């Protein structure tokens, strides 16, 4: 008992503000069972979903106490009985697992994605939550193609920036809405077709001129409230508004007339649901296409800062600051 190997883990016993709820614990290193792999975690992003889960307002509520963190880059550390196809030390990412904000986590072998050599650790650590969400929304859900306009809120987010990068591969155009004027030039420099700051009182008129009489093929919203709902006014007849985030925490507000007279569709997108409903061979093909584009540098999720795991409080504070240009990551 006394010689049991321990690991560091950021655990919460009750939901709450991460600064109060998260504690660094020393817990036994988990052993992989049959069909499972133990991962030595290397780098983990701080995503809104991680923080929302600690606060108790995310769609996935783990049994408590729970170790925080839902994604990250890891090295294969040990494999359980019956596992083949992975070598010790190989770089992998889990396709969603609870507890990446620790030194080790165990998951099933079929939940792992092998990372190609060409990808940096910083990009690999972020593949699943944000780039994959952007890719699936643009390519699989909305099937955006040449000459389509996509209009998006919170366009300076990592998902938003990935959607701008994917547009260059697929040929669609992006109209990007941001809340801070400084981000307009920043996103134009990154290849956005049009960027408007919603502080500009005339932003809606300008947006309508940009998408023209035809309207945008689709909108994606991560903000909610009347901001998210206003995207409906920019969509074409039969257009789709995909809601994938609720950053303002305000209920989405859409005028009924917008929906009725242009027969719009509004629906939600959740990566966890996509994972459950998509057969593994289809998921693998989509992730392979994404990894190829990322390895070529065509999709590159930006990084703002990297903190040691022990400095999680400062890292979470940094991740909460407005005006970041990329993700805050937790190293070891």
Ligand X SMILES: NC(=O)c1ccc[n+]([C@@H]2O[C@H](COP(=O)([O-])OP(=O)(O)OC[C@H]3O[C@@H](n4cnc5c(N)ncnc54)[C@H](OP(=O)(O)O)[C@@H]3O)[C@@H](O)[C@H]2O)c1
Shortest distance (Å) from residue 11 CB to ligand X: 22
Shortest distance (Å) from residue 271 CB to ligand X: 3
- The helix, strand and coil proportions of the chain, stated in percent and rounded to the nearest 5, come to 35, 30, 40
Residue number of the CB closest to ligand X reads 245
> Among residues 58, 104, 172, 244, which one is catalytic?
58
CA distance 243 to 159: 13
Contact (Cβ atoms closer than 8 angstroms) between residue 244 and residue 159? yes
CB nearer to ligand X: give 106 or 177: 177
Contact (Cβ atoms closer than 8 angstroms) between residue 90 and residue 75? yes
CB nearer to ligand X: give 76 or 129: 129
Torsion from C-alpha of 26, 31, 33, 36, nearest 10 degrees = 80
Asked if 58 is an active-site residue, the reply is: yes
CB nearer to ligand X: give 32 or 229: 229
CA distance 99 to 41: 10
Shortest distance (Å) from residue 213 CB to ligand X: 28
CB nearer to ligand X: give 83 or 241: 241
Contact (Cβ atoms closer than 8 angstroms) between residue 100 and residue 69? yes
Report which secondary-structure segment, H or E, holds 265. strand 265-268
CB nearer to ligand X: give 158 or 290: 158
The binding site for ligand X (CB under 6 A) comprises: 47-49, 129-130, 133, 154, 156-159, 179-180, 222-223, 244-245, 247-248, 269-271, 322-324
Shortest distance (Å) from residue 165 CB to ligand X: 13
Shortest distance (Å) from residue 76 CB to ligand X: 25
CA distance 207 to 290: 30
Shortest distance (Å) from residue 205 CB to ligand X: 20
Q: Which residues pair with 220 in a beta bridge?
A: 152, 242
CB nearer to ligand X: give 106 or 252: 252
Shortest distance (Å) from residue 71 CB to ligand X: 10
Contact (Cβ atoms closer than 8 angstroms) between residue 12 and residue 22? yes
**What phi and psi, each to the nearest 5 degrees, are found at residue 78?**
-165, 140
CB nearer to ligand X: give 109 or 125: 125
Contact (Cβ atoms closer than 8 angstroms) between residue 1 and residue 37? no
Contact (Cβ atoms closer than 8 angstroms) between residue 45 and residue 129? yes
Half-sphere exposure of 300 (CA within 13 A, CB side): 13
Concatenated DSSP letters of 145-176: -TT-EEEESSTTSHHHHHHHHHHHHH--EEEE
**Cα 203 to the chain's mean position, in Å?**
27
Active site residues: 58
């Amino acid at each position: 008992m006394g010689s049991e190997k321990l690991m560091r883990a950021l655990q919460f016993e009750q939901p709450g503000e991460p600064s109060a709820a998260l504690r660094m614990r020393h817990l036994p290193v988990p052993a992989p069972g049959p069909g499972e792999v133990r991962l030595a975690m290397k780098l983990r992003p701080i995503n809104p979903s991680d923080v929302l889960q600690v606060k108790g307002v995310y769609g996935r509520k783990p049994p408590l106490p729970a170790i925080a963190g839902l994604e990250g880059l890891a090295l294969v550390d040990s494999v359980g009985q019956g596992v083949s196809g992975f070598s010790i030390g190989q770089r992998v990412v889990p396709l969603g697992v609870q507890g990446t904000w620790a030194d080790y986590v165990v998951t099933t072998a079929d939940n792992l994605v092998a990372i190609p050599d060409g990808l940096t650790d910083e990009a690999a650590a972020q593949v699943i939550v944000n780039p994959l969400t952007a890719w699936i929304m643009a390519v699989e859900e909305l099937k955006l193609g040449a000459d389509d306009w996509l209009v998006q809120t919170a366009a300076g987010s990592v998902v938003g920036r990935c959607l701008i990068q994917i547009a260059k591969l697929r040929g669609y155009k992006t109209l990007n809405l941001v809340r801070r004027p400084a981000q307009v030039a920043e996103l134009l420099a990154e290849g956005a077709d049009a960027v408007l700051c919603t502080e500009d009182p005339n932003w809606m008129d300008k947006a309508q001129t940009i998408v023209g009489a035809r309207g945008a093929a689709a909108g994606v919203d991560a903000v909610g409230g009347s901001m998210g709902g206003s995207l409906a006014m920019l969509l074409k007849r039969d257009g789709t508004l995909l809601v994938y985030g609720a950053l303002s925490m305000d209920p989405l507000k859409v005028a009924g007339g917008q929906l009725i007279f242009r027969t719009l569709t509004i629906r939600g997108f959740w990566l966890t649901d996509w994972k459950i409903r998509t057969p593994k061979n289809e998921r693998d093909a989509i992730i392979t296409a994404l990894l190829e584009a990322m390895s070529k540098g065509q999709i590159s999720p930006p990084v703002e800062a990297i903190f040691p795991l022990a400095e999680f409080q400062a890292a979470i504070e940094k991740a909460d600051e407005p005006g970041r240009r990329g993700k805050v990551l937790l190293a070891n």
